Amino acid sequence: MTARPSVTSRISTSRSLGPHIQSDSTTLISASTAFTGTQPISLGPNVIIQLRARMTSAYGPINISENCLISERASIGLLSPPAPTQAEGEPTGVNLAPGVVIESGATVEATCIGAYTIIEAGAKVGKGAAIGEHCKVCAMVQLGEGAVVGDGMVVYGSGWGERRSEQGRQELEGMRRKAVTEQIEVLRRCWTGK
């Protein structure tokens, strides 16, 4: 009579390990954040990733610079393969510059988002899109694949989004930097008590 194999001998060790995540000691990541994929994910200093956010690096790396805020249920990363027409040397994956704020429920598949840009709640930025610095994509707006938005623009409406330049851009840039920095400091104090 042969003995049954033990439970430990039946457990598979060929399980996927998921993406390689590189982060700074000042990065705060919620325990409910989902990291999937095989490409590397890089998180800069003072990045905060809140509850149930999703990072998907199956089709390209994710690079998030310092002082970025990823809110609840936000989704970052390519959800399907990039277009085969992508030229050699073009950036791949998703790249967020310093001070980017991705609000609740937003989906970002953009190639790059410039510094101190805000993607409001429920907005979707399609694959290959490029958004400049100090922009705002309003709530529930959907920017299609390959959309290009210049610096200092507000995108509102539906489809490819209607656009207008922000009034008083100089003052707004300083105020936005200050607001993002203060928001990150407040969240850090709430999470760490320091």
Q: How does pLDDT run across 143-177, given as a tens digit for each residue?
A: 888 889 999 899 987 655 666 666 666 677 788 88
List, in order of start, the domains of the chain with CATH numbers: 17-81+90-192 (2.160.10.10)
What is the model's pTM? 0.82
> Tell me, what's the pLDDT at 112?
94
Most confidently modeled range among 1-5, 81-85, 86-90, 115-119:
115-119
| pLDDT tier, 62 (very low <50, low <70, confident <90, very high otherwise) | very high
For residue 74, give every residue at least 6 positions away whose Cβ sits within 8 Å of its Cβ, in sequence order, or none: 50, 53, 54, 102, 103, 104, 105, 106, 107, 108
β-bridge partners, 101: 69, 118
> Tell me, what's the pLDDT at 172?
75
**pLDDT, tens only, 25-40:** 999 999 999 999 989 9
